[in-house]
Amino acid sequence: MHVTIKPDIYWVGAIDWNVRSFHGYQTKYGTTYNSYVVEDEKVALVDTVKKGFEDQLFSRLEHAGIDSLDYLVVNHIEMDHAGSVRSVLEKFPEVQLVTNERAKKGLEDAYGIEKEVMIVDTGDELSLGEKTLTFVRTPMVHWPDSMVTYAVEDKVLLPNDAFGLHYASNKRFDDEFSEEEMGRIFYEAAKYYANIVLVYSKHVQRVLNKVEELGLEFDVIAPSHGIIWRDKIPEIIQRYKAWSSGEAEDKIVIIYDSMWKHTEEAAYQVAKGIDEKKTDYRIYNLKKSDWTEVMTEVMLSKGVIVGSPTLNGEIYPTVAGFLTYMKGLEPFDKSAAAFGSYGWSGEAVGKIVNIFDELDFDTIGKAKWVFKADEDGLSDLKNLGREMAEKIKTQ
């Protein structure tokens, strides 16, 4: 079934209940690929769905009584949204593609689509009759081609990836969820920001400022993943402002892996020091943990403590892999510390600190020791936890 968002504006997307890895992102609640129709004298479809989900899109269009399309607006060419553009063009050969110059090239490069395109840029308008669509370019939120579409008279923002979350549900709107469920929804929104959007935070800030400058008002924010915001719009915008400006909570995340439990024992020793200061923390063994969740905790925490043994002169592979992932997402404004056990050379801790330096983290301490930490070593580790707890309270 289609879902009405506003009179003559419909959700016609697809629900992917069972995707568990979205190019590595652990989607434990699945996701949705949201497409929208704006119907007037002319009918516009805004974004499509991932290839393989066309049947859901087409059956919802049919249910909405849409048997022809005048425009197909492509906000973003990534495969989860533009993967069915070719199928839509085959089903509706007369449809006019509408997108920006960069996305036009993307449609050619990624899909071999060379159909004539109506090129739009920020501020351009497309009249459908009584309803008007306007566009704002949002490069790097999420890709260089990204833009958002705004239904002017209805005050409906269709921002594609921005404000999304990976969450499959039979419910479409934020006000259909209980308060308890909304806690999970906002956490999933944070997870999505941390694992997809964080690296583009400066661009997000620019877009938020641009939206304010243009004076756009929203009754509805309908992203291309997850739920549609119409009740908690100020809350999700406030969170985007906070996440994009590096605001974090008074908590610490301890991330480690261990070969013979020496580094693991150290992680718990660090935690004892944090406990003494009555500060919140979470501990993650990277061998057993969902990196997507760990990354979320990195973004949400002021303090990041990383432990790794040295293996063949390097950071232990699981820790090195996570740090590579984390570095790519460019978390910022963190206090950091490193620790690790070693047998004879002990390079891992120094290499972790080098990564902290690349991210401009404030490294407040480091600790390494041969095999099992002795009494002095255990005391140093506990002290590291205490110092981090004290540091984040002044941050």
Q: Interface residues with ligand FEO (CB under 6 A)?
A: 76, 78, 80-81, 142-143, 161, 224-225
Residues with active-site annotation? 23, 76, 78, 80, 142, 161, 192, 225
Minimum distance, C-beta of residue 392 to ligand FEO, in the bound complex (Å) = 32
Which residue lies nearer to ligand FEO by CB, 111 or 143?
Answer: 143
Q: How far is residue 92's CA from residue 94's CA, in Å, rounded to a whole number?
A: 6
Q: Describe the chain by its helix, strand, coil percentages, rounded to 5.
A: 40, 25, 35
Burial class (CB in 10 A: 0-12, 13-18, 19+), 50: buried
Q: How far is residue 109's CA from residue 125's CA, in Å, rounded to a whole number?
A: 26
What are φ and ψ of residue 310, in 5° steps?
-95, 130
Look at the block and give the residue holding tokens 């004879």: 344
Minimum distance, C-beta of residue 160 to ligand FEO, in the bound complex (Å) = 7
Which residue lies nearer to ligand FEO by CB, 34 or 335?
Answer: 34
Which residue lies nearer to ligand FEO by CB, 167 or 339?
Answer: 167
In 10 A of CB 214, how many CB atoms? 13
Which residue lies nearer to ligand FEO by CB, 142 or 382?
Answer: 142
Q: Are 157 and 206 within 8 A, CB to CB?
A: no
Element holding 270 (H helix, E strand): helix 262-276
Q: How far is residue 191's CA from residue 197's CA, in Å, rounded to a whole number?
A: 10
Element holding 321 (H helix, E strand): helix 317-329
Minimum distance, C-beta of residue 81 to ligand FEO, in the bound complex (Å) = 6
Element holding 187 (H helix, E strand): helix 179-192
Minimum distance, C-beta of residue 277 to ligand FEO, in the bound complex (Å) = 40
Minimum distance, C-beta of residue 297 to ligand FEO, in the bound complex (Å) = 23
Which residue lies nearer to ligand FEO by CB, 111 or 268?
Answer: 111
Which residue lies nearer to ligand FEO by CB, 163 or 369?
Answer: 163
Q: Angle 119-160-69 (CA atoms, 0-180°, nearest 5)?
A: 55
β 14-16/21-22 pair status:
unpaired
Longest CA–CA span in the chain (Å) reads 78
Minimum distance, C-beta of residue 192 to ligand FEO, in the bound complex (Å) = 9
Q: How far is residue 250's CA from residue 220's CA, in Å, rounded to a whole number?
A: 32
Which residue lies nearer to ligand FEO by CB, 188 or 264?
Answer: 188
Minimum distance, C-beta of residue 158 to ligand FEO, in the bound complex (Å) = 13
Mapped onto helix, strand or coil, the DSSP state of residue 365 is: strand
Side chain identity at residue 253, one-letter code: V
Beta sheet of 132-137, edge-to-edge order: 125-127, 132-137, 147-151, 156-158, 220-221
